[in-house]
Amino acid sequence: MTDTLAGGATPQNSQHTNDEARARLRKRYAAESRFKWLGAGAVLLSAFFLLLLLSTIVFKAFPAFHANQLTLPLNLSAENVDPDNLTGSNYDTIVNDALLSLFPQVEGRQERRQVRGLVSSGAPTLVRQALQNGSLQPGGTVDHAVPMDDFSDLYLKGLLAADSTETTVETLQNVAIDGAEATLSFSDDSLLQTARAAGAVEEDAGALRLTTGASSIIAYLGDGAVKLTAVEPGDTGVVARGSILSPVVAEAGGPVRLRVIATPEGQRKISDREIVWVDQLEADGRTASAWNTQFLFGGASREAEMAGIWGAVVGSALTMLVTLALSFPIGVSAAIYLEEFAPKNRLTGFIEVNINNLAAVPSIVFGLLGLAVFLNWFNLPRSAPLVGGMVLALMTLPTIIIASRAALRAVPPSIREAALGVGASKIQTVFHHVLPLAMPGILTGTIIGMAQALGETAPLLMIGMVAFIVDIPGGFTSPATVLPVQIFMWADFPEPAFQQKTSAAILILLGFLVLMNAVAVVLRKRFERRW
């Protein structure tokens, strides 16, 4: 625009070009700019929180997908295992004997029980299953890998006692052994400073005592290990006393490796003695990390290292099949009738309003409805995919009906008029022309409704799908649980290993949801028509 008129005349001071108009224009531009920046900020903030959530889940879930196994020399000779009666053998004894053979120095009852706790309590069952399925053959002593206990596994993954430091002391002069106690003599006093930093208690004459509230100091002498309990000044240096965790050689010399574990032993899930044993097994090459097939293909268990997600995956799949089989035909049929055939009167208006309201009803209300109708009235089995699918179908129906009606309404009226114009009946018009064109939108709405149902927990809790189910469900009426309920249960367990499994199960559930949404996108792109 220009302020010069034709013929060189000076323009009048218009309300659109004066200073006030320019000020209003600048104000509108500034408002638009602020709105754009606020929108971009909202998107970035949402992306940041989403990235933070996903990265946290992935970081916590990653350790659950691999597990440490311990290779044991199992004695499967005819004396212990009868090839004709594999279920009649005592596999607990076989596993315990093999484990104790790796620690011949262990004699006390308490220590023997600690050694047995290094492997999973489900190891005997896995050995029996390996013999039954032929992956392990009886006869003689055979090396076989079994899962380690969850705390030993977490320690090897660096998730327990990770706050430790190591130093080397070159001034060891002498080692004296008295039963289960050892006395170490050093020519310098640097160990005093280490003990003070570990929280040792000061006593008379400069002596230091490492109580249960102090950090652990473990002295490694070759293959042996001593947990220090007291340090005091000596004639020519420092004298340290402690309990023998692994046999040491008297009069030994050479460098000593000092390991200081900051977390006191009483505040850890793994003791100093177990740490020394696990380190010894790792140094002997008997531990190895592998894919956690027990988690991926196992059922539920109270033992963290034996708990698997496959039972919940199968339960979710069966439940979704029932939900789809019920909600899709009923929902689409209702949408077709209401949109194409139903008269426009007060009754249909009342039904439409209530369908829209049902879409906003809390999901637990549908659970209460399922509990009252399907379980208490029809006496259908509890904790079964059949009932779970029926409850979720009730919850998904309004979503499918609303999405289907919107898809049918989006088909141009000219399609219907053309079909009717060439002599097609109303039903032929709907099912031969309108419904195929609306199907992409109907499928998209259905899959989104199914994805919502897959993540629901509250209604399934009401019908008993929170029950502890060990076996993999074999049918629609078998006891089962589903992924969100399994996550809910694991999140409530106090064992640290279940934290990783909870995050891993969330990842698998998110994978299900992403897959279902991807299918919706593909179907929409494949059948989409532009008018």
Q: For residue range 334-390, list pLDDT tens digits in order.
A: 999 999 999 988 998 899 899 988 888 888 899 899 889 998 898 888 888 999 999
Strand order in the sheet with 141-147: 141-147, 66-75, 287-291
Distance CA 215, CA 272 (A): 11
Provide CB contacts within 8 A for 342, sequence distance 6+.
Answer: 348
Segment 183-200 shows an average pLDDT of 87
Neighbours of 507 (CB within 10 A): 18
> Are 469 and 313 contacting, i.e. CB atoms less than 8 angstroms apart?
no
**How does residue 471 score in pLDDT terms, banded at 50, 70 and 90?**
confident
pLDDT value, residue 252: 60
The pLDDT value given to residue 247? 87
Give the pLDDT confidence score for residue 10 in this predicted structure.
53
pLDDT at 271 > cutoff 70: yes
pLDDT per position as a tens digit, 85-113:
888 889 999 999 999 999 888 888 888 99
Q: Which pairing describes strands 66-75 and 287-291: parallel, antiparallel, or unpaired?
A: antiparallel
Give the whole-angstrom CA distance, residue 138 versus residue 85: 11
| Residue (of 232, 254, 111) closest to 183 by Cα position | 232
Q: Residue type for 183, please?
A: T
Q: What percent of the chain has pLDDT over 70?
A: 96
pLDDT tens, 375-385?
A: 889 888 888 89
With beta carbons less than 8 A apart as the criterion, state whether 175 and 182 touch: yes
Provide the residue type at 195 as one letter. Answer: A
Supply angle C-alpha 245, 250, 255, rounded to 5: 80
Region 274-279: mean pLDDT is: 93
- Could you give the CA distance from residue 126 to residue 124 in angstroms, rounded to a whole number? 5
Q: Return the pLDDT at 89.
A: 86
Is residue 241 predicted with pLDDT exceeding 60?
A: yes
Whole-model pTM? Answer: 0.81
Read off the pLDDT band of 12 (50, 70, 90): low
Chain centroid to Cα 125, Å, comes to 25
Of residues 178 and 331, the one with the higher pLDDT is 331
Sequential DSSP letters for 90-146: -HHHHHHHHHHTT-TT--SHHHHHHHHTTB-TTHHHHHHHHHHHTSS--SSEEEEEE
| 430 contacts 340 by C-beta, under 8 angstroms | yes
Question: Please, what's the b/e burial string for 49-82 (b: 16 or more CB within 10 A of its CB; e: otherwise)?
Answer: eeeeeeeebeebbebbeebbbbbbebbbeeeebe
pLDDT higher than threshold 60 for residue 8 = no
Give me the pLDDT at residue 2, please. Answer: 45
For 289, the 3-state DSSP assignment is strand
pLDDT at 1: 43
Question: Using 50, 70 and 90 to split pLDDT, how confident is the model at 178?
Answer: confident
Q: How many helices (H) and strands (E) does the chain have?
A: 18, 12
Structure confidence by residue, pLDDT tens digits, 380-437: 888 889 999 999 999 999 999 999 999 999 999 999 999 999 999 999 999 999 998 9
- Does residue 354 contact residue 400 with C-beta atoms inside 8 Å? no
The share of the chain scoring above pLDDT 90, in percent, equals: 41
Residue 5 has pLDDT above 60, yes or no: no
Which residues partner with 261 through β-bridges? 164, 216
Give the pLDDT of residue 494: 84
